[in-house]
A and B are shown apart, each in its own frame.
Chain A
């Protein structure tokens, strides 16, 4: 496909959309599907078929954010907004919690072509519809700035034409026909984009490292038996580089990447292709966890569609650039999100990390230079190319540019997916967007099992990589769990440590055994049997994990404990046994580590 063809298809699609009086988009991401959006879509389609004069266009679209209130349905009228304009349609209504029973009222209302939204009238169905209307001027919607999630309400994830109409693949063709790889890397570097998987490493720097590395003939693993999982086609004779999309999202409570993959698979593919062109790779892997079946299905579809349109495969967009993408399914091991473990897994070996350096950028998949970027990172790429580094760099803070997608969960009214500019305060997210009760919220947990808890007193802080890190937490991939006064922080720490115990791969001793020992101590303290010495031991073990573990999983596994100790130490101390009273009646210098065991005949 060349740029003219792309333009034509996009125009046709837009025209078809504009021909309808109203466009109804029903969310078909996992969240809404799980509460019955498929049935709602069918009901609306049936109703619309019965009333062709209503002139409705109905499609399944992507996530609209308020996931806890699904199924969500967006109704838009008037001309389709210009691509990348950031503007919404002329009129747009968002309905929450729709059921198939609401379909007749909705279609009947639209058929009447009233310009007002449905009001609470005498009619019972109309009034129920009115009650389900969301206020799009509420902070939850108004405060969002969408780059990664842009146009999700207009994109049918299963049709490439829909993505093309939303301006898709224009950036890729632009790169292939008008820009040299070094210019693209420069654009990304100037944009200030940083890795969205949690680490925050400058993306441009990573790209240029891979670009500068010499291509390499793929090497079999140390033992040929170990690489038996890989097919011969994966490893041709010539030297090469790889691009890998890390879609092994595994933090409890985080589903940003899943949503992006389900709602705009082409956006990720486009990002991968641009990255591959920029760094000189011709082969890519999408490493997705098998627990995301819908994402995998849509990615598969998207790859076939893109190949058919000549946007993946050989001579992309009529250029000399070849790029082939394959999907690799992860079996759900959290550690496989760590890049060296991910590489081992793709190579068909046990998913275990290895010490870095060498970094994958120089010595990656089968020894070849490999670029590994997270889903959200790659989903930013096309927008940066389309609108320029300066536009992107104007979003966010000095060191953290752009936006970040968060999965909001916990004790707030509005939970779901949001995209906000970096630098927004935690207060704005929790209390304004999330409508969390001021005074009732105790802390927010960011970064999942690698992150920490930030107490309400610090909610004025801006959300950016450095600020969160200074508080002992991390940006992480974007999970945000809001906790109220009922949350016991020792329990919170224990929950995340249980996760790390389950997910430790077992390669290095501190993580393999240390996580279990930390968990035992947390359980003991939680039962009210811990001593001051136990608390000391807990901290010592946490520091050991941080300092001596092999990979990021172990190094950050203690963060939830250390951060709750930092801000909520009293909660730990209140649970301790009075050391001077009971257990230490003698003048011994050491206190016993463990109380007497219960007697059993």
Chain B
């Protein structure tokens, strides 16, 4: 994003120039400062749902999600403190405890953003008890599958389908721990008329929740580098 005022802020003690319409996450990325993320994906509208990218902003009463917070003149941002690290780790533990994340038998083992995040944040066991929910698997689609046991509700699939493919097949149903990804009006995916079978949802899914059929453990590699390209193309078309 651009076109706004140019401002200066500090991230981890470093002076950064930024457009006011950018997010702190974007500015940090431009400046080579790493902030861990999960629900965020370049090219999709940020929702601030996973709370992994929380950073400290001087004067703010609580940490703010870098993916939806815009910079302001003179803002001082800290992206890495022991406190933040502890909070991120605990949030990740909550997510791991919430589903049934069994990497050893997962199609994306070795290529999973959740698994990678656990490694980065130093989660090697769960201090909190796992909840072992019973969640449904939807294998009704001829090409793809949905295993809700591995879903972290990042809603990337919902967003890519609505914002980029324009089909809006996916949405969220239910509240709290019962919240779940559904296709159309909670029909089996294979019967969802709006689905174009484009597979974008599968590619943007950070975990093995959405996968291509026929892939064995560790065989599924997600490709989502096409996203920024797609959005750029769409924008260009809109402007023409």
Chain A interface (Cβ < 8 Å from any Cβ of B): 222-223, 225-226, 333, 350, 354-355, 357, 501-510, 512-517, 520, 537, 540-541, 544, 546-550, 555, 593-594
Assess the B54–A355 pair: CB atoms within 8 A.
Answer: no
The minimal Cβ–Cβ distance linking B132 to chain A, given in whole angstroms, is: 12
Assess the A537–B87 pair: CB atoms within 8 A.
Answer: no
Assess the A513–B168 pair: CB atoms within 8 A.
Answer: no
Tell whether A512 pairs with B153 under 8 Å between CB atoms, given A506-B177, A547-B62, A548-B51: yes
Chain B contact residues, majority secondary structure:
loop
Assess the A510–B94 pair: CB atoms within 8 A.
Answer: yes
Residues from 89 to 130 in B contacting A, C-beta threshold 8 Å: 90-91, 94-95, 97-98, 127-129
The minimal Cβ–Cβ distance linking A262 to chain B, given in whole angstroms, is: 28
Tell whether A547 pairs with B128 under 8 Å between CB atoms, given A504-B176, A508-B51: no
Complex: A355 Cα to B63 Cα, angstroms: 13
Tell whether A550 pairs with B48 under 8 Å between CB atoms, given A355-B68, A512-B98: yes
Partner of B49, one of A502, A508, A594: A508
Asked if B28 is at the interface (CB within 8 A of a chain A CB), the reply is no
Chain A residues in 8 Å Cβ range of B62: 546-548, 555
Assess the A550–B176 pair: CB atoms within 8 A.
Answer: no
Chain A residues in 8 Å Cβ range of B91: 509-510, 544, 548
| A-B pairs with beta carbons under 8 Å apart, 17 shown | A501-B176, A502-B175, A503-B176, A505-B176, A506-B175, A506-B176, A508-B48, A509-B50, A509-B153, A513-B94, A541-B90, A546-B62, A547-B87, A548-B51, A548-B62, A549-B51, A550-B65
Assess the A507–B47 pair: CB atoms within 8 A.
Answer: yes
Chain A residues in 8 Å Cβ range of B168: 223, 225-226
Asked if B233 is at the interface (CB within 8 A of a chain A CB), the reply is no
Which residue of A has the minimal Cβ distance to B51?
A: A548
The minimal Cβ–Cβ distance linking B6 to chain A, given in whole angstroms, is: 20
Assess the B127–A537 pair: CB atoms within 8 A.
Answer: yes
Asked if B178 is at the interface (CB within 8 A of a chain A CB), the reply is yes
The minimal Cβ–Cβ distance linking A73 to chain B, given in whole angstroms, is: 42
Which residue of B has the minimal Cβ distance to A520?
A: B129
Asked if B1 is at the interface (CB within 8 A of a chain A CB), the reply is no
Assess the A512–B128 pair: CB atoms within 8 A.
Answer: no
Chain A residues in 8 Å Cβ range of B176: 501-506, 512, 515-516
Tell whether A516 pairs with B177 under 8 Å between CB atoms, given A355-B65, A355-B68, A555-B62: yes
The minimal Cβ–Cβ distance linking A515 to chain B, given in whole angstroms, is: 7
Complex: A429 Cα to B186 Cα, angstroms: 50
Tell whether A514 pairs with B49 under 8 Å between CB atoms, given A355-B68, A504-B175: no
Assess the A333–B87 pair: CB atoms within 8 A.
Answer: no
Assess the A222–B172 pair: CB atoms within 8 A.
Answer: no
Assess the B175–A503 pair: CB atoms within 8 A.
Answer: yes
Partner of A594, one of B69, B95, B129, B175: B129
Complex: A594 Cα to B129 Cα, angstroms: 8
Chain A residues in 8 Å Cβ range of B131: 513, 516
Asked if B171 is at the interface (CB within 8 A of a chain A CB), the reply is yes
Asked if B45 is at the interface (CB within 8 A of a chain A CB), the reply is yes
Chain A contact residues, majority secondary structure:
helix
Complex: A137 Cα to B176 Cα, angstroms: 49
The minimal Cβ–Cβ distance linking B178 to chain A, given in whole angstroms, is: 7
Which residue of A has the minimal Cβ distance to B171?
A: A350
Which residue of A has the minimal Cβ distance to B68?
A: A355
Q: Which 10 A-B pairs have the closest CB atoms?
A: A506-B179, A513-B94, A504-B176, A355-B48, A355-B68, A223-B162, A513-B98, A548-B51, A547-B62, A223-B168
Asked if B174 is at the interface (CB within 8 A of a chain A CB), the reply is yes
Chain B residues in 8 Å Cβ range of A509: 49-52, 91, 94-95, 98, 152-153
Asked if B163 is at the interface (CB within 8 A of a chain A CB), the reply is yes
Assess the B98–A505 pair: CB atoms within 8 A.
Answer: no
Which residue of A has the minimal Cβ distance to B154?
A: A509
Assess the A512–B179 pair: CB atoms within 8 A.
Answer: yes
Complex: A507 Cα to B68 Cα, angstroms: 15
The minimal Cβ–Cβ distance linking B17 to chain A, given in whole angstroms, is: 21
The minimal Cβ–Cβ distance linking B39 to chain A, given in whole angstroms, is: 9
Which residue of B has the minimal Cβ distance to A356?
A: B68
Chain B residues in 8 Å Cβ range of A223: 162-163, 168
Complex: A234 Cα to B178 Cα, angstroms: 32
Could you list 9 further interchain pairs (A-B, Cβ under 8 angstroms) beyond the known A514-B94, A593-B129?
A225-B168, A226-B162, A226-B168, A502-B176, A504-B176, A508-B50, A544-B87, A550-B49, A594-B129
Residues from 166 to 191 in B contacting A, C-beta threshold 8 Å: 168, 171-172, 174-179
The minimal Cβ–Cβ distance linking A232 to chain B, given in whole angstroms, is: 20
The minimal Cβ–Cβ distance linking B85 to chain A, given in whole angstroms, is: 13
Assess the B47–A354 pair: CB atoms within 8 A.
Answer: yes
Chain A residues in 8 Å Cβ range of B177: 501, 504, 506, 512-513, 516
The minimal Cβ–Cβ distance linking B88 to chain A, given in whole angstroms, is: 9
Chain B residues in 8 Å Cβ range of A520: 129
Complex: A170 Cα to B143 Cα, angstroms: 67
Chain B residues in 8 Å Cβ range of A333: 175
Assess the B127–A548 pair: CB atoms within 8 A.
Answer: no
The minimal Cβ–Cβ distance linking A522 to chain B, given in whole angstroms, is: 13
The minimal Cβ–Cβ distance linking A338 to chain B, given in whole angstroms, is: 13
Complex: A530 Cα to B177 Cα, angstroms: 24
Complex: A503 Cα to B176 Cα, angstroms: 7
The minimal Cβ–Cβ distance linking A566 to chain B, given in whole angstroms, is: 19
